[in-house]
Chain A
């Protein structure tokens, strides 16, 4: 596998379910990100991890819980979601703080989430 991979690619869940999204990067990067893309809206940053430490939480509701066990893996744990949380969830990675001002983020293919 190369680049950034995400599983599952599609997920349908009920409002009372608990599920997790997984992201893995094979680029040797130190920073990982979760973004959300809703219909007709630009990509919105949710969380940033740099060297496994969370450095940004963009006012995301607590029903979304990120986990970064190492620099290569990132999870997004989901529980008691609402239908309006249906969106494309994208993971990205970059060099992070060692990347300097031209640090570039590389994206995975995304997970299309539908909350019923």
Chain B
């Protein structure tokens, strides 16, 4: 059973606007969450992370929000740029193991 879900397979946003990518999880033991970005023919690239003791982490144009009670996190990209077009994966892990549990990804297209 999949513990990390990204229910939107794709998202299209205009350049300069906000992109919001969503992720839900079912395991309440998850305490560290990550977002990865993947271009075709490349491996996933680490983007930003958040631990369960925080509800927000910001790095430049990227902000991740965590709502533990709803078991939901989101990635905001402001402003979106055409170079942000990629597949974005949400991942989560517990403190007791190494395994990252990944969602299926959301394909973001930023149009000029």
Q: Provide 11 A-B residue pairs closer than 8 Å at the C-beta atoms, listed in order of the A residue.
A: A4-B43, A31-B98, A42-B89, A43-B44, A50-B98, A101-B51, A104-B34, A105-B34, A107-B44, A110-B42, A110-B43
Give the segment of B14-22, B58-66, B75-83, B100-108 that binds chain A.
B100-108
- Give the number of chain B interface residues (Cβ < 8 Å): 26
What is the interface of chain B, defined by CB distance below 8 A to chain A?
Answer: 2, 4, 31-32, 34, 36, 41-46, 49, 51, 89, 91, 95, 97-105
**What is the distance, in angstroms, from B14's C-beta to the closest C-beta of chain A?**
28
Contact B98 A107 (CB under 8 A): no
CB contact between A42 and one of B41, B49, B102 (< 8 Å): that residue: B102
CB contact between B51 and one of A58, A102, A106 (< 8 Å): that residue: A102
Q: A90 at the A/B interface (Cβ < 8 Å)?
A: yes
Contact A48 B32 (CB under 8 A): no
**What is the distance, in angstroms, from B15's C-beta to the closest C-beta of chain A?**
27
For B43, what are the chain A residues with a Cβ–Cβ distance below 8 Å? 4, 6, 90, 92, 107-110
Closest 9 CB pairs of A and B: A107-B43, A42-B102, A43-B102, A109-B43, A101-B95, A45-B99, A107-B44, A48-B98, A42-B104
